[in-house]
Amino acid sequence: MTIAAKDVAQYLKDHPDFFNQYADTLAQITIPDQHGGRAVSITERQIGTLRDQAKRLETKLAELIRFGEENDALSGKAHRLDVALAGAADANSVLRVLYAHLGGDFAVPHVAVRLWNVAGDPSAPEFTPMSVAAHEFAATLKRPYCGVGSGPDVLGWFGERGSHVRSLALVTLRRGPDTFGLLALGSEEPQRFYPEMGTLYLERIGEVAAAALTRTLPPALN
């Protein structure tokens, strides 16, 4: 009678006391070592398996610790930005805080803001008129855009260095349901902002920036 390997495996699972009853059999069984090719006992194989599992768990733990440390660092940067925005007395101060923290603490090399439908200095770059396509793009952006340079007019906001931008994050600024601005972050690194990245902190930055600008900039008079 031919017995399938899976039947043997199932039998041993169903009878965990088998090797207690046949201890000599256990001692006589050897299996090939998956690394060296020599025959080893089941006990040695189990020890090797446990060591491999321990190494994988150590690697996973190190990865989780690294992610946690990165998240803590981002949380600290976001908190410092929140505090600084809360203390900004006027719109110019809000913009200075955004540029200083995003360009400094967050190390984003290119930061630009565009605003509309709010009262402000028309000569300031933040109030430079935008195309209809740019307004429509911002209005339809439900979450931060991350990826290669995209969006009407945006790369030009960074000046001469805009042509060097290889990845971009675009965050809408909203007052209630209405979009009144766009925050653009650019980098020469292609993978600094990528489509699959998490956008939680970008969304929070957009919310606190919009709240600070809403507090300091009245709606434009039509």
Is the pLDDT at 47 greater than 80? The verdict is no
Using pLDDT thresholds of 50, 70 and 90, give the confidence band for residue 14: confident
User: Residue range 189-200: average pLDDT?
Assistant: 92
DSSP string computed for 138-170: HHT--S-EEESS-STTGGGGGGGGGGG--EEEE
Superfamily of domain 87-216: GAF domain (3.30.450.40)
Using pLDDT thresholds of 50, 70 and 90, give the confidence band for residue 39: low
Q: What is the pLDDT of residues 74-89, one digit of tens each?
A: 889 999 999 999 999 9
Residue boundaries of the structural domains of the chain:
87-216
Distances (CA, A) of 92 to 134, 145, 216: 23, 26, 9
CA distance 171 to 144: 5
The DSSP output letter for 101 is I
What is the structure's pLDDT at 31? Answer: 62
Q: What is the pLDDT of residues 86-130, one digit of tens each?
A: 999 999 999 999 999 999 999 999 999 999 999 888 889 999 988
Instruction: List, in order, residues 6 or more apart from 16 with CB less than 8 Å away.
Output: none
| Mean per-residue pLDDT of the chain | 85
